[in-house]
Amino acid sequence: MKLLLTSAGITNKSIHDALIAMLGKPIAECSALCIPTAIYAIPGGAGHAWRFFSGQANAPMCELGWKSLGVLELTALPSIDKELWVPLVKEADVLLVNGGDPLFLSYWMRQSGLADLLPSLQAVYVGLSAGSMVMAPNIGEFFVGWTPPNGSDETLSLVDFAMFPHLDHEMLPENTMANAERWAAGIQGPAYAIDDQTAIKVIDGTVEVVSEGHWKLISPC
């Protein structure tokens, strides 16, 4: 898969251009599936999900002008035949994965079978906040909210770095660089602190930062 891991969606021209290049064709010719699952594990999740679908979340994803847009709700998938959803995922040009709680998302990606399917897909995976963080080996204690049955902060390990999104966001006063560096001290491996104007592009294991804002790679000691 090609990964575009964002803090807050397609927020500027540089990230938008990176997405177009990864898709290899205009957005208007692409089919998209949006995955809202992570948002249900935070307060007001149902309303946040609606704003995500309808393009009112102030985090551009679903409203970009896709040829078609469908909803893939991971919590429903274990109870239906794979023949009803796996072909749709394989045919999609892009997966738009919403933010929320990264451990809840990781749990349901595994439970649904999507996690096993992801490495074989041709689709571009676009993550937003938790939708990006879930690709890492773990998220660190700073971001633990919902607790999985095993009590671990481990996520999918589809990339070898962790992410601290929404750096210096005015609505999140705790998301400072100092706190990001303290968080990174508990992460095994490299970690990126990124603001909402930054994304991380991963193609065939090659990592590139796309930014019109500020970010920092915090390497382990």
pLDDT in tens, 52-111: 989 888 899 999 999 999 999 999 999 999 999 999 999 999 999 999 999 999 999 999
145 occurs within a structural domain: yes
19 occurs within a structural domain: yes
- 121: which DSSP letter? -
Q: Which residues of 161-180 are buried (b: 16+ CB within 10 A; e: fewer)?
A: bbbbbbbeeeeeeebeeebb
Percent of the chain's residues with pLDDT above 70? 99
Conformation bin of residue 35: beta by default, left when phi > 0, alpha when psi is -120 to 50: beta
In total, how many domains does the chain have? 1
Any idea what the CATH number is for the domain that residue 9 is in? 3.40.50.880
Q: Give CA–CA dist 99/88, Å, rounded.
A: 22
- In this structure, are residues 197 and 213 in contact, taking their beta carbons and an 8 Å threshold? yes
Structural domain that includes position 136: 2-169+179-218
pLDDT band at 219 (very low <50, low <70, confident <90, very high): confident
174 occurs within a structural domain: no
122 occurs within a structural domain: yes
204 occurs within a structural domain: yes
pLDDT of residue 221: 54
The pair of three-digit structure tokens given for residue 178, joined into one six-digit string: 């100092």
Other C-beta atoms closer than 10 Å to the C-beta of 31 total 15
112 occurs within a structural domain: yes
Cα 124 to Cα 21, 25, 71, 155, 192, distances in angstroms? 10, 12, 16, 19, 21
